[in-house]
Amino acid sequence: MKSSKPIGIIIGIVVLIIIILMFGLPLYNVWQQEMAGKAEMAKAEQNRKILIEEARARLEAEKLNAQAEIERAKGMAEAMKLENGTLNTTYNQYLFIRTLEKLADKGDLPQIIYMPAEGLVPVLDVNHTKKSVTPVE
């Protein structure tokens, strides 16, 4: 009789643990799914906020670019007024040289071919690629 009492207690504890797990695990799974859903919802909300802020930043950048373009146009209009619509060849050459300097800074300077004409009008060969020329001996 003494040996059956501890076995009965062990069996009772095992049965009690099984009953607790039968009811506890489904409740835990429901709670876990609820927490996962809340986490997913919070992540989606944060992603939405990020997209809205990026769109606002793009809009602000476009507004600033538009203002810069307006200011550039105003400056060009004022320069035209100052020049009174008369551009001489020296000023045109100056503008051409400035453009060449900007292209050279970018590394996009095309080959320039001068044709004998009045004012030495340059012809730009933008399709020309630089080739190594070896001297002939």
- Furthest-apart CA atoms within the chain: distance in Å: 128
Residues 6+ apart with CB under 8 A from 50: none
Quick: pLDDT tens for 84-107.
666 667 777 777 778 877 877 777
Question: Is the Cβ–Cβ distance between 85 and 76 less than 8 Å?
Answer: no
For the stretch 117-137, pLDDT in tens is 555 555 555 555 555 444 454
Beta-bridge mates of residue 125: 111
Cβ 92 vs Cβ 120: under 8 Å: no
Of the pLDDT bands very low, low, confident and very high (cuts 50, 70, 90), residue 3 is low
Distance, in Å, from the CA atom of 3 to the CA atom of 66, rounded to the nearest integer, reads 93
Distance from C-alpha of 53 to C-alpha of 32, rounded to nearest angstrom: 32
Q: What is the pLDDT of residues 53-74, one digit of tens each?
A: 999 999 999 999 999 999 988 9
Q: Which helix (H) or strand (E) holds 122?
A: strand 122-125
The whole-angstrom separation of Cα 87 and Cα 96 is: 13
The pLDDT, as a whole number, for residue 107 is: 74
